[in-house]
Structure 1
Amino acid sequence: MTTIFVFEYLTGGGIDPDVAGTGSLADLSALIVEGRMMRDAIASDLRALPGVAVTFASSRFEQPDGALARRCAERGEPVTHFVARMARAHDYACVIAPECDQLLLRLHDAVGASRWLGCAKEAIRAASSKSATAARLAAHGIAGTPALKPDDACLHEASRWVVKPDDGAGGLDTFVYQDLDAARVEYERRVAGGRNPVLQAWVEGEPLSLSLMCDDEGARLISINRQRIGISEANSARRERIVQFDGVEVDQIDRQGPQGRALERLAMDVAQAFPGLRGFAGIDVVWNAARGPVVIEVNPRPTVAYAELSKRAARNLAADLLAAHRVPGFDGRKTAHACGASS
């Protein structure tokens, strides 16, 4: 029997209402829902595989099905200690967590490479920084969104600008400006506060995401998804708007069509540029009418698209995840599967 511990940060005790406060939890509510969706989908898929026993992390504020094996951190126990303790009690650990504050890297170290069902440390480190990601993409000739300084002349070529954390997750603390001077002020304000922001030109176009399954033989594009990105008013005087992620519609573009083939080539190029991507990973892209696909960020971990694909897949995606890590009993390319695409 292969034992696997599934940990998702927001639902597994990473956020404590006693510490975070009501306001913070309200801001994170959508991410908590998405985290639970990913955790439950992966745990369910793993449970359905023969010879696999699953334990998942929960918090004391959650009341899941009592028939399922779950564990909670001890009161006051640091999350990395909890994950390390549970990983030692299982053969493998599957971890979903944001890259911010090097959290995903720290959890990788807590689990250890031999038990880790996820991307390698070098891929996580490179993809955790938006500026480092942009630099690596540029070095490989891949269209991306460079991190710019407030005095960069190319800023004037855009009509909107975005300020966000260099290691942020989703749309948290991400603002779009129609006024370049206001964007510069916000960037400098964050720098003065000891934060690590990036200033980028906003890329106009259709927001997409690419879902990949990666192993040591390469990467396979399993779905092209449309992202629902909302932009709400924050401060009209400063022409500032908040970017919000409102969900994903999976498997939306035919991978055999011209656009699908272009995105598949892009996915393979990005996977080569980020060695160490393993298992399920995602790439956020904007399809610009003039430039074609522009990479916004690389996600070295399962994304919310996994949960939607899990509902629709003709086979169990967790089998591919285990095969990508050569878990005994799961034979690599024999488990290869790509979901059917629709235009």
Structure 2
Amino acid sequence: MTTSLFEPVTLGPLELANRIAMAPMTRARSTQPGNVPNEMMATYYAQRAAAGLIVSEATQISPQGQGYSYTPGLHSDEQVAGWRKTTAAVHAAGGRIFAQLWHVGRMSHPVFHGGDLPVAPSAISPQAQVWVADPETGTGGMVDSPVPRALETGEIPGIVADYARAAENAIAAGFDGVEIHGANGYLIDQFLRSSSNTRDDGYGGSQENRLRFLQEVVEAVAGAVGAERTGLRLSPVITQRGMHDPQILDTVVKAGRRIDALGLAYLHLAEADWDDAPETPEDFRKALRAAYSGRIIVAGRYDLSRAEAILAAGYADIVAFGRPFIANPDLPRRLRENLPLADLDPATLFGGDETGYSTYPAFETAA
């Protein structure tokens, strides 16, 4: 039987209305000071509650985990209270929402750390930029990330504990579960890859050692909130930010085998989403399916036809859409009824007010 994007699906203890997920997208709208989620964010997410699952924007697990201005956190009482506005609004609209737990590692800047360097597995520059805003005006721009400081071995358990604590805070804030951000060149991904991890202790060197930090984080989070409420995001074909590693596909398959043993709710693949990007190899998809028996979510410039095709092939159970959800809060309906999609305004992606955030109308109003 052919599986449709619009059919319900179970995810751990949850019944999702459809197989459409809203992918995590940084929008930088939190209230300052304190990186506190606000009413504007609650409105934005509730507008998009027709998705079977919403994965929140990346949310830092600690002050050390921040790398971009105005991104929300999950480590203070004020942030937990702020997120309750969003989860209550999404649930009132019939939606489900997971919090994405984030530590950026070397993708940061000293401005966020009292002048101290960002931390990473190794002191290797990401050769990338992060968005930094003026706290007085709210306007910002991209600035270079410096060479980070390599973490001492003894510091790592504290970061693992930060993930678990943030997961507990997410559940206290009303989220249905959490997604561990292990993709896109951030801290967990930096540990996984030989290009960013040249450590000579138990967290570096061999592929097994480079998987250790991920394993410890997943076990800690699953232990804190339940494996059935824990997902993991990885990026198997992404190479930007100095993340090229010829072993990464095999590493992701091994990670899939490890989390399968733990019974995680899902594995979320952030696939390449830029022009002329490499295709995710089919033999990798087959190997991952053999290694991991749980739900698989895929994201990466999918449209309706590509989404239906990957579901039919059995390589995914849920398809996540990112940018189309920005300008189309009613995206599931537009896909189902083949309605035209509105275009987003790139100038309003990061920072600012409601304009270009919660001001995009549903199709009925647009018509």
TM-score, length-scaled by structure 1:
0.30
TM-score, normalising length from structure 2?
A: 0.28
